Amino acid sequence: MMQTLYDKLWQGHTVYEESDKPDGMALIYVDRHLVHEVTSPQAFEGLRLSGRKPWRLDAILAVADHNVPTTERSHGIADPVSRLQVDTLDQNCEDLGITEFKMTDSRQGIVHVVGPEQGATLPGMTVVCGDSHTSTHGAFACLAFGIGTSEVEHALATQCLLLKKARAMQILVEGSLGTGVTAKDIALAIIGKIGTAGGNGYAIEFSGNAIRELSMEARMTLCNMAIEGGARAGMIAVDDTTIDYIQGRPFAPRGDLWERATAYWRTLKSDEGASFDRVVTLDASQIKPQVTWGTSPEMVTTIDGRVPDPTEVDDAVKRHDMENALKYMGLTANMPINEIYLDKIFIGSCTNSRIEDLRAAAEVVKGRHIAANIKLAMVVPGSGLVKRQAEEEGLDRAFKDAGFEWREPGCSMCLAMNDDRLSAGERCASTSNRNFEGRQGPGGRTHLVSPAMAAAAAVAGHFVDVREIY
Amino acid sequence: MREQQNNFRVEKFHSFRGLVAPVDRANIDTDAIIPKQFLKSIKRSGFGQNLFDEWRYLDHGEPGMDASERILNPDFILNQARYRGAQILLTRSNFGCGSSREHAPWALQDYGFRVVIAPSFADIFFSNCFKIGLLPIVLGTSSIDRIFDEVDSAEGYSLTVNLEGQTVTTPGGEVCIFDIDSFRKNCLLNGLDEIGITLQHTDKIIAFEQKRRMEQPWLFK
Ligand code: SF4
């Protein structure tokens, strides 16, 4: 029987299955459990109250990212509520003996940047975290998905989760991407096509030569956004790019084990002729830089496009949603996208805060300056190590000279749980993943774009086609 | 105090008849259900007063504010007197999309909802609901459209939810049948602790883990 990558990962982690029922639950073993401060305190508390202990400490890696300040950290966290949450994580990790990268550790950063960077995410693993963007780790041919706090407790206590198998979707992207078009644009184009609920009930495998041509960082960007297309998990088969990325990372195997591991990892791909429940195809050469105009990632168009007109939509529910979105976003129908002026620029988040993202943005801003109407442009590297490398390459200078602020790593204005946020009515070009109402601050207006597009918008003051700048 | 609030057990789900509140919007995301500033809490209760915070209040909410002193948005549907005490939320497709925060189902439950009815749900939200005893019910779009119309025209509109028989019954006697996985149904009906169920398979987990340690030793320290 030909198997998809998802079939292989699922079967390889099934501890127990309700075999009497075709659609029953399975007990799935967890190889890597990533933990952050927001979704874990209640799980640790539950564990304690029921007198249970973590099943396997070496499977867990913890890092605080959502609440941490991105400015000078030596005085700790000013907001007492945020501080308590981070202190609670520190305390839980210390009490139980869990490995944690604390706020002042150079390896600290966004959990989905840190895992792969450390080699803590390895092909063939099941990776879980109380965070929906855990799909990021699927770039390594992992079965990686977000879980709620009850499941965090369940995974801590049993090293397993009770799950139902999803259906398999293949998203085939053939052809080559044009200059200035990135994995972020592929992700948004896919979501524009299938909708934010298109992947509900599915695990997505991205394949095709446009995917094989992507770097690991770009693959992470793409898998990161699988959840925005409704799929709990996104994944990509192992190839040389995967293996080269992992080699030499702190948590990666070495010597004989490395040889054994890579031999196995190379089997992590869908068999020729394996069948999927749904196949979606895209032509990479046709994808243009994307910009979202609404309050859901599926409300997206191309840089040369216009804000759509709700009166042209027949479906009443959809029309109503579009009208709400335009009102919230302060936009009018048929307005050209490149006439949308911005107040703030955010380059960061688990979608686009890795070194290649920063390089792409720096290349655009180098020798230029942010426009006069931009009140704040900030770069928040995904981890302390990304930050350090960027500084070694002089990227920080390019950004600072252009008028950007250069910050400490964390989630920052992706969800504005710390002090970085939009004020009501402010409009932001953001490299993050969600443009929901209030996501970057109450009343804030978010447009999702790639790092290069955000950088170009910073310089121009409004959206521009980055392909014209290169 | 904290112990009490966090010592969470799923209660048995009994059939009931409950008032329906309609929120007529598709793709309601978890940021809308419970905005992030409230996620800083390390407790699992008390989120109900901040359910749909940005739609429900005109002032900006922060943790620790006294809800009784805040300015309600009279236009938001849950603020209408006729929906006070609602136990069933009726809404549109892809409800609960976005983050994996269990705070979203916690907030709905803490507010008083026991059931959410929609044409579809986001996967993680859907699964999170069962863990805490909140029942998400998927009904066909035509049934949903009809119930929306009926709720609108009849004050005090209630539905009867019967989990055992997997039915939702309208005041007019129309019976809608819904699907539910048998394991989840059993857990809800009996208020079962999933961790306890899994730990009954401890020997299988240990055996699996030992085999894995042999085959893929690099996964273990
Ligand atoms: S960067 Fe944003 S999306 Fe990613 S984990 Fe942090 S808050 Fe979530």
Average pLDDT across each block of 10 residues of chain A; the chain has 470 residues. List them in order: 96 88 84 97 95 97 95 89 95 97 96 98 98 98 98 98 96 97 98 97 98 98 98 98 98 97 98 97 98 98 98 92 96 98 98 98 97 98 98 98 97 91 97 96 96 98 93
Q: What pLDDT is stored for residue B6 in this prediction?
A: 41
The DSSP result for A289-305, as a single string, is: -EEE-SSSTTSEEETT-
Residue range B178-208, pLDDT digits in tens: 999 999 999 999 998 899 999 999 999 999 9
Confidence (pLDDT) at B8? 61
Res. B3: pLDDT tops 50: no
Interface ipTM: 0.93
Is the Cβ pair A436, B63 closer than 8 Å? Answer: no
* Cβ neighbour number for residue A140 with a 10 Å cutoff: 30
- Per-residue pLDDT at A337: 98
d(CA A71, CA A144): 31
Instruction: Find the mean pLDDT for residues B117-127.
Output: 97
- The answer to whether A301 and A192 have CB atoms below 8 angstroms apart is yes
In chain A, residues 397-416 whose CB comes closer than 8 Å to chain B:
415-416
**Ligand 1 mean position, distance from CA A415 (Å):** 7
CA–CA gap between residue A117 and residue A209 (Å, rounded) = 25
Write out the DSSP string of B63-77: TT--GGGS-B-TTSG
Ligand 1 center–CA B105 separation, angstroms: 20
| Subunit contact B217:A257, Cβ cutoff 8 A | yes
For the segment B14-31, what is each residue's pLDDT rounded down to a tens digit?
999 999 999 999 999 999
Question: Which residue, chain included where needed, has tokens 């869908």?
Answer: A270
Token pair of B102, please?
């269990």
| B-proximal residues of A, 121-150, CB under 8 Å | 122, 124-125, 130-132, 134, 145-150
Q: Which two tokens stand for residue A257?
A: 């084990």
CB count in 10 Å sphere of residue A32: 23
Contacts of B219 in chain A (CB under 8 A): 31, 122, 125
Does any CB of chain B come closer than 8 Å to the CB of residue A442? Answer: yes
CA gap A410, A235 in Å, rounded: 24
Q: Which residues contact B153 (CB under 8 A, 6 or more apart)?
A: none
B26 → closest Cβ in A232, A260, A321: A321
**Distance separating the N- and C-terminal Cα atoms of chain A:** 48
The three-class DSSP label of residue A241 is: helix
Q: At what angle do helices A355-365 and A451-460 cross, to 10 degrees?
A: 30
Of A55, A148, A166, which is closest to B131 when you measure between CB atoms?
A148
**Cβ < 6 Å from ligand 1: which residues?**
A 65-66, 110, 112, 131, 133, 349-350, 411, 414-415, 432-433
How far CA A326 is from CA of A229, A313, A428, A437, B55, in Å, comes to 21, 14, 15, 11, 16
pLDDT of residue A22: 61
What's the full length of chain B, in residues? 221
Q: Chain B 105-124, CB below 8 Å of chain A: which residues?
A: 105, 120-124
> Is there a contact between B198 and A45 if contact means CB atoms under 8 Å apart?
no
Could you say which of B120, B122, B199 has the minimum Cβ distance to residue A158?
A: B199
**Residue B213 CA neighbour count, 13 Å, CB half:** 11
